[in-house]
Structure 1
Amino acid sequence: MRGLNMISNRRLIAHLAAASALALTPQAVSAQEGEGSEASAAENIDPQVRSRELTGTFGGQRMSYTATIRENVLESDDGKPEAVMVTTSYVKDPRDSSRPVFFIYNGGPGSGSVWLQMGAWGPKRVAIPSDARDDGAPPYPLVDNPDSLLDVADLVFIDPPGTGFSYLTKGTDPEKYYGLRQDARAVAQIIRRWINDNGRWNSPKYLGGESYGTSRTAMVVDELEGSTYNDVGLNGLILVSTILDFAGREPTPGNEMAYIVTLPNMAAAAYYHGKVEAPSVEAIADEARQFAIGPYATALLKGQDLPDAERAAVRAELARLTGLSETYLDNADLRVTSQRFYKELLRDRGLTIGRLDARYTGRDFDNAGETPDNDPSFYGIDAGYTAAINQWARETLGFETDREYQSIGREPGQHWDWSLSGRNAYLNVAPFIGKAMRENSQLRLFNAQGWYDFATPFFGAEYSLNRFGIPQDRLTFEYYDAGHMMYIRDEDRAKLSADLREFIRAR
């Protein structure tokens, strides 16, 4: 998720952060006391591998498959273990090297693969309410997932260091793994290792993730296909809730793009909650797109030179599209941040709306604040997913560890290196995707967006993927009637899987 992957609303670096605590598993061994015990622990990692032979029905096909959870040790140039990355793979039996392989992760940075694994494409999923109600208290049912993509591809879920059960060993400098390029190199190394160990060099390959996982995809494809040596060709990139151009999510004073790309989300949310009238969410979203890149963008760019008559006309249309009063919009100088919108839209009902999924509503301590106390679309789902991944990995797959699974943590984000050029420059990783597609004439891209997702707005994804240098004839966009994690909604999970089956089979 949030990928859950989560893009925050404070300053960019502080808010894309999420991650896990660092500690050694029992397999890291060596509990010696005194001097030298840290080195001894680091040198005696015995990677854990657990496999189970299982059966299930996916996409209408009954099949046997092998589920394997594995610790993979990454070493420094001098052979010292630096990180342990956990992969969970699902491979159809009997093994068939002609089948596609789909490598999957979530985002954050610091988010474990639990969201896509236990919510969308793994063979089991956690059953939580589909209609934007909170998940309540345990037990949370773990049920068969006929929407898993195992019928069309073998699946490899990857937890980068600082996520899930993956961790850095004692003494490892976080700066070696926590960053745009550093993280991508580690993930690419694990992908190459899995391909080699499983004899899948000539299998069709797909790569993708959710939220920051889409940014990671842009970086990893550059590591895999942009390498001079040991190039790994890919068939497709699968992006869920995309964030590539980070300026569109940062409402720093003077950056007008943040208001332009989120306006269509505001219109969609207002439509869902009955604050505006339109034939459909698609219709109101398109009206908002056209207004955003036309009269609204023009008005914002004019700044203090905006004539009164033009300001009044823009304010009136903005009120019609967002459901906010003209007085409120005037006081906000026509620039309403997402955080303010969550609180203001349903203030008359005493409710706030969700950031990850605007369908969700919550009640704050009081109704007078400027921004919500919390995100009801996050606290409404997180407990069920955490329970599910621990039950599945520990009880079914037999993974043994004293570590807690880090679904969303802090550690990677606190150390994350967001720089690509060695300076604090404008961050846009979409050009890496364009380069990969220009240099691989059969590489295609699938982009999935929820109408009600403010964390990674759909118009921001469209804008970033519509830039020069990205072949438009190999892009597929699909939209869903939910938010950041559209697969929470039963109808959208089925649609997402059907859309991806078609995309993978069309290679």
Structure 2
Amino acid sequence: MKAKAGKLLTLAISFAAIALIFPSQAEQLREVEAKSQVVTKHKSTINGDRIEYSATAGTQPVWNEEGEAIATLFYTYYQRTDVKEGHKRPLVFSFNGGPGSASVWMHIAYTGPKILNIDEEGYPIQPYGVKSNPYSILDVADIVYVNPVNTGYSRVLKDKDGKLPDKEQQKSSFFGVNADVKYLAEWISDFVSQNNRWLSPKYLIGESYGTTRVSGLAKALQSQQWMYLNGVILVSPTDIGIKRDGIVKAANRLPYFAATAWHHKKLPESLQSKDLVDVLPEVETFTLREYLPALARGGFIAPERKREIAKRVAYYSGLTEQEVLQNNLEISDPYFWKSLLRDEGKILGRLDSRYLGIDKKEVGDSPDYWPELSSWIHAFTPAINYYLREELNYKTDVKYNIFGSVHPWDRSKNNTGENLREAMAENPFLQVLIQAGYYDGGTNYFDAKYTMWQLDQSGKMRDRVSFKGYRSGHMMYLRKPDLKASNEDVRAFILRTLPAENSPARYPR
């Protein structure tokens, strides 16, 4: 997550899953195998085609410079088996975020061959479990779901004397923007070698903080491992080190507010009668041309102009003009989540504002909890534990950490956006797809557009970066129509970024 939003999510996770973040003493005594592998065979119908595939669940070590295994990462590797020259198929490495989140979210809800048993809007239902994903990208690409250290079954390993490294040693090795990228780049290179995938076109997909991770990896893989990518997919992106603070951050919230208010039918009829995708361009234009300059004037804006802007912000946000004025034109996210449905006694979800909750008191300027997070953990935890053990036959006494202990995370020297730009400049084949949900208040879609605009200020690579928006939140794929649409967008991106045979990687004169 971006720094400020990431801290909020970390706080939310801390309250919602504290038992998972801080493992018990008994859990620390359980040990995972440094290298393990269980292979199972499967069949499924994906994108209308009947396919056969293998699923490899296992662990692969992280090595230090002395050749010692210092950690092991749990992964799940899906490989289509009913095709010729499978070692040349596109290969996608998938990461989630947090930091401290396992790969579970996109694994069993987005691109993988199995998805959660949830309703069409993404809410948990019983019986728990998984079902086939007819929209998975496995028909066109093999997929590796990677769990960074302390997530999933991935763990730090004891040294030759049977001791774990202390917290500072672990932090410097694993728990920071640059440490994370460094060891994961080495791990990916090892995986590619051990599985004979050097001839495959390669892709990275990351969600939330995972977008920071894969942006840094794009450059690290090129400069440290001599591995060049065809594509990077940023799902619900963070700022990837491209700052958008102050009035920019404040102004960028308004299009997200408008989308959420439209969903909950809180906009004036002149807007509510339009489709969402017809409303948003109008709000975006107002944001850039009028709202941002007004915020720049601060306390020196003319009173008449302040009232004009307040009226327009209220018009687009579903709040009252008085509320906007009382907040000096700048509405915070927590205030919006608490206030929009205050008259109905409901609060909004942070990462997906379609989700509703109830607070102890209707007064206040921020919600008591995040209802979407409670709903998601409700659905994902039993499903992933069942799926890995019973369908993929991976048995271990180690607890699967949906969220792992990785904090404090070192966020200093975050140049991952610039790393991605450099990787693109050095590699004419490399393209980027950005995906965002309109109802995501944690990494809102207009912030994602802003990051896209700032990624390459020269504009010379703008035709290699594309944006797709969806009518859902942070995990847009939980809503069935968006599960289909977002997978199809990834599928099309992969097929579009495969160069023609014998096509050279060069810039034409």
Q: Please give the TM-score of this superposition, normalised by the length of structure 2.
A: 0.88
CA contact (8 A) 1:20 1:164 kept: no
2:436 to 442, 449, 460: 449
Distance in 1 (alpha carbons) for counterparts of 2:446 and 2:28: 42
* Cα-to-partner distance string for 1:12-41 (whole Å, 9 max, x where unaligned): 79669878456557555xxxxxxxxxxxxx
* Cα-to-partner distance string for 1:177-210 (whole Å, 9 max, x where unaligned): 0010111112212211111011111211111111
Note the 1:256-271 alignment, pairs <5 A. 256-271=247-262
**Match for residue 490 of structure 1?**
480
Q: Do structure 1's residue 148 and structure 2's residue 136 form an aligned pair?
A: yes
CA contact (8 A) 2:192 2:198 kept: yes
**Size of the alignment, in residue pairs?**
471
Amino acid at match of 2:335: R
Q: Do structure 1's residue 51 and structure 2's residue 44 form an aligned pair?
A: no
**Match for residue 450 of structure 2?**
463
Q: Do structure 1's residue 174 and structure 2's residue 163 form an aligned pair?
A: no
CA contact (8 A) 1:75 1:81 kept: yes
What secondary structure is seen at the aligned counterpart in 2 of 1:381? Answer: helix
What secondary structure is seen at the aligned counterpart in 1 of 2:362? Answer: coil
Structure 1 position 324, deviation (Å): 0.7
Structure 1 position 495, deviation (Å): 0.6
CA contact (8 A) 2:236 2:434 kept: yes
Q: Which moved more, 1:176-185 or 1:79-88?
A: 79-88
Distance in 1 (alpha carbons) for counterparts of 2:188 and 2:476: 26
What secondary structure is seen at the aligned counterpart in 1 of 2:110? Answer: helix
**Match for residue 299 of structure 1?**
294
1:120 to 110, 127, 138: 110
**Match for residue 480 of structure 1?**
470
Distance in 2 (alpha carbons) for counterparts of 1:406 and 1:153: 27
Structure 1 position 273, deviation (Å): 0.7
Amino acid at match of 1:298: P
**Match for residue 205 of structure 1?**
202
Shift in alpha-carbon separation, 1:431–1:494, aligned structure 2, 3 A: same
Q: Do structure 1's residue 135 and structure 2's residue 119 form an aligned pair?
A: no
Distance in 2 (alpha carbons) for counterparts of 1:118 and 1:127: 10
**Match for residue 106 of structure 1?**
96
Shift in alpha-carbon separation, 1:284–1:126, aligned structure 2, 3 A: same
1:376 to 367, 371, 393: 371
CA contact (8 A) 1:179 1:418 kept: yes
Distance in 2 (alpha carbons) for counterparts of 1:166 and 1:6: 24
**Match for residue 180 of structure 2?**
183
Structure 1 position 121, deviation (Å): 1.2
Note the 1:351-500 alignment, pairs <5 A. 351-409=346-404, 411-412=405-406, 414-420=407-413, 429-467=416-454, 468-469=457-458, 471-500=461-490
What secondary structure is seen at the aligned counterpart in 1 of 2:236? Answer: strand
Alignment gaps of 5+ in structure 2: 15-19, 159-163, 499-509
What secondary structure is seen at the aligned counterpart in 2 of 1:119? Answer: coil
CA contact (8 A) 2:34 2:60 kept: no
CA contact (8 A) 1:85 1:158 kept: yes
Q: Which moved more, 1:170-179 or 1:433-442?
A: 170-179
Shift in alpha-carbon separation, 1:14–1:131, aligned structure 2, 3 A: closer
Shift in alpha-carbon separation, 1:24–1:198, aligned structure 2, 3 A: farther
Amino acid at match of 2:106: L
What secondary structure is seen at the aligned counterpart in 2 of 1:121? Answer: coil
Q: Please give the TM-score of this superposition, normalised by the length of structure 1.
A: 0.88
Distance in 2 (alpha carbons) for counterparts of 1:8 and 1:288: 24
Alignment gaps of 5+ in structure 1: 29-44, 421-426
Distance in 2 (alpha carbons) for counterparts of 1:76 and 1:248: 33
* Cα-to-partner distance string for 1:269-318 (whole Å, 9 max, x where unaligned): 01111111421212222122112122111111111211111111111100
